[in-house]
Amino acid sequence: MIGRSEHLPDDRLVECYFSDRGGEPLDPPAVEHLADCQSCGMRYAELVGFLDDMRTASDVETDAVFTPERLHQQHEHILRRLEHASRSARVISFPGQSSSHPAAAAGRVAPRWLAAAAAAGLFVGVAVGGTFLHPGFERSVTSMHVANNATAAARLAPSATVLVNAPANVSDSIDDDAFLMQLEFALERPHTQELQPFDALTPHVRPVGVNDIH
Amino acid sequence: MSDQQSVRQPGPAAAPPVANSRERRTVPGPASEDTRLAVEIRELVAHGDMDDARDRFAGLVAAHQRRASRIAYQYLRDAAEADEAVQDAFVKAFGHIASYREAWPFEVWFTRILINGCLDRRKARARRDRWFAPADDTPHDETRVPFGGVAELDPEAQLLARERRARLSAAIDRLDGRQRTVFMLCHYGDCTPREVSAMTGLNESTVRVHLFRAARKLRALLGAKS
């Protein structure tokens, strides 16, 4: 029971406002007090008026921004995202074979063997071709190794035989060597002075290869 | 509790459910239609019936979409960002529907997800504003043409609406953190003090007091400026 001398506290006014807004019956003593007490009636009227005004303004504003068309589009977006999100991730096998196909696992064996055979064939072909068709190839490969052991001489011997048997190719290989040597001399020292200390600290393989050949 | 603080998870003694529109807000019943629907969706998801679950969830989206957009827009003041926040909140709600408990009204549960998302976006925006120079000094969405919205008004009405929004937004920003949260939830979120109490963990009477003081302060701020 609220006496005449006591005013309604703030929270009671808010409670009345929400009850009224929700269509619920107001607390009878509070209604009676609001009717009798001018001060509380004014406070309540100010509160209701202010909140209702703001409410109307926010409704108008939101309706202007979120039109039915926009809400419909938003609804569609949400449903699309839900559909996309609830779809479990799939691993797509490359190149385009379905992983769910029962023969897929067995089918993968053949390409693997094929690839291995192709790689082996290529390697053998290059090696044989390099040995018999381009004698300089073997020598150049040999020159890349540091020949500071006894087997190096044995490796160089067959290539010397080939050089005797194929004089035309000798001049070609000599030209190549001369060209490469010129190139190496040109690049032997960096032209930038600031880089020369770094170059001095860097080990070089060029002299070793040249000295071993000659 | 500051405005940037997340809304607390409602406890088991949450408020009774309420209807989802302002007009339908009536005497709370034992469980709202939305809550029952949410429970059904949860069961469907648990049984792997995703298509049916999505179909049912579409109904919830339609029922809460407008209200959610209003809340997000008032928090973010940017129509496009509010749109994204609403979408994210619905997607997140559906993704976490397994954790939904019928002790909480769906509206309360969903609003909490939405507001947390909005607060995260506000934090991210504040970070962006701290590190990147803005392209211009206009407010976030004031220059953007809304999707068939305010741009259709005449320029004078647009200007007045923009000024009113700016004043109100500035006044709300000057509220104390708790007052601001309570006001936003009650006013824009259509939540009753009991629901706000469930969301924030504050006493229901305290929520009402905060709301009253927020309204009084806002009235003073807006009245002083006008």
**Do the beta carbons of residue A11 and residue B212 sit within 8 Å?**
yes
Select from B148, B208, B216 the Cβ nearest to the Cβ of A69: B148
Cis peptide leading into residue A95 (ω within 30°): yes
Q: Does A213 touch chain B (CB under 8 A)?
A: no
Which amino acid would we find at residue A183? L
Closest CA to B196 of B120, B117, B111, B118: B111
- Where are the alpha helices (H) located in B96-192, listed in sequence order? 106-131, 155-173, 177-183
Encode burial over B181-218: b for 16+ CB neighbours within 10 A, e otherwise. Answer: bbbbbbbbbbbbbbbbbbbbebebbbbbbbbbbbbbbb
Residues 59-98 of A with CB under 8 A from B: 59, 61-62, 64-67, 69-71, 73-75, 77-79, 81-83, 85-86
B221 lies within 8 A of chain A by CB: no
Complex ipTM = 0.70
CA distance, residue A42 to nearest chain B CA (Å)? 13
Residue type, A47: L
Q: What structural domains does chain B harbor? A: 33-225 (1.10.1740.10)
Task: Report yes or no: A208 at the B interface, CB cutoff 8 Å.
Answer: no
Query: B112-147, pLDDT tens digit by residue?
Result: 899 889 989 988 888 777 777 655 544 455 444 444
Whether B10 contacts B71, CB under 8 Å: no
- What is the average pLDDT score of chain B? 76
**Per-residue pLDDT, B22:** 42
Between CA B4 and CA B7 the distance in angstroms is 9
Query: In this predicted structure, which of A26-30, A68-72, A144-148, B98-102 has the lowest mean pLDDT?
Result: A144-148
What does the block give as tokens for B27? 């005497």
Q: Is A121 left (phi over 0), alpha (psi -120 to 50) or beta?
A: alpha
> Residue A111: is its pLDDT beyond 60?
yes
Its sign, for the CA torsion A200, A203, A207, A210, is negative
* pLDDT band, very low/low/confident/very high, at B82 (cuts 50, 70, 90): very high
